[in-house]
A = this chain, B = another copy of it.
Amino acid sequence: MDSGTYFGEFNRRDWRTASEGTVRIAVVGLGGFARNRALPAIRDSDFCEATVLVSGSPDKAASLADEFGTERTVSYDAFREGEAADRYDAAYVSTPPAFHDEYAVAAADLGKHVLCEKPLAATVADAERMVDACADAGVVLMTAYRLRTEPAIRRMREAIRDGAIGDPVQIHAGFSSRLLDNAGPESWRLDPDVAGGGALMDLGVYPLNTSRFLLDADPVAVSAETQSSGAPFDRVEEHAALLLTFPDGVTASCTASFGGHHDSRLQVLGTEGQVIVHSPFGGHATEGVVLARGEARTSYAGRPVDEVCEEFDYFADCVLDGGTCESDGEEGYADLRIIDRAYEAAEIGERVAVHASR
């Protein structure tokens, strides 16, 4: 096996079809990530264009429309009523999770494709409604798991799939980010009705979904611990730790924390080698990849790409090609099912069986 298979043309877009065109996007919700990452990524993308901004704040929307050259700004109510629907082909839903279903379903009812931030919804029931609405409307519903288009993760997935590390045995993955460094105690992330949960929902979904993606499998059971040090983490968990069991006895030890020093890491240990990704979940390019097999270690720290840009172009490719989207609504739904079981496991202190898919 030649490691060059994975490290040559590292940033290649293996998912690209022959489809060309432009997908016009309504950006629904103009929070920090939408402003600082999504709008610049759409601007820099090959196949997307932000044409409509949807916000409850006309001033903020107008200022961003000016900055990014979008055609229209509309209010949330107007969006739901179909205003400016002829100006966009798809909605990027970037509101807090509890509002995802409302805008995703509205978009689907208007015949628009949907790219929705993760977690897909605040509850399993909401996610199910979104999946059904998009299926009924015949539109693409993609969950915005940007790691799935991040080249390091895609290359390492290929390596694992090809048996480069033998059979996977154990995963260690964690994501921590100090919430209060960037938000006050009024943050929606501290409100379980809006966020759907705490660190596990907001951060834990990255190690969880990435583990599932790299193993190409769903967990069958989960044990969990959730912890908080007190206010303002008295309504959602500050820290979470999962022990997931996958088929063939593979385990994934996944952690998430709103209180831990900013860090993310990922290790997939196999019988013949291992994959290590440094800083996989931090929102920017990974800081390096190591593929070890036997005594050989190959590391990669090449030119990074903007994974958010990759994500939008991947979404556009799915829309333009009319084909399947790997990171679909069922994927987001499955993670919510698993998280739901994890919360139960933490509460009752038992290993809980998981049936991730519908």
Contact = CB atoms under 8 A, between A and B. Distances in A.
A253 B243 contact: yes
A351 interface: yes
Contacts of A228: 249
Nearest to A248: B229
A261 B164 CA distance: 12
Interface residues of A, number: 45
Interface in A257-284: 257, 259-261, 263, 265, 267, 269-274
Chain A contact residues: helix, strand, loop or mixed: strand
A265 B267 CA distance: 10
A166 B255 CA distance: 18
A227 interface: yes
Interface of A: 165-167, 169-170, 172, 174, 176, 178, 221, 223-225, 227-229, 239, 241-243, 245, 248-251, 253-255, 257, 259-261, 263, 265, 267, 269-274, 292, 349-351
Contact of A255 (B170, B221, B239): B170
Given A170-B255, A257-B169, A292-B261, A178 B249 contact: no
13 contacts: A165-B261, A174-B267, A174-B269, A223-B225, A225-B243, A225-B245, A227-B250, A227-B251, A241-B253, A253-B253, A255-B269, A259-B271, A261-B273
Given A245-B225, A350-B350, A351-B223, A261 B270 contact: yes
A167 B227 CA distance: 14
B269 A260 contact: yes
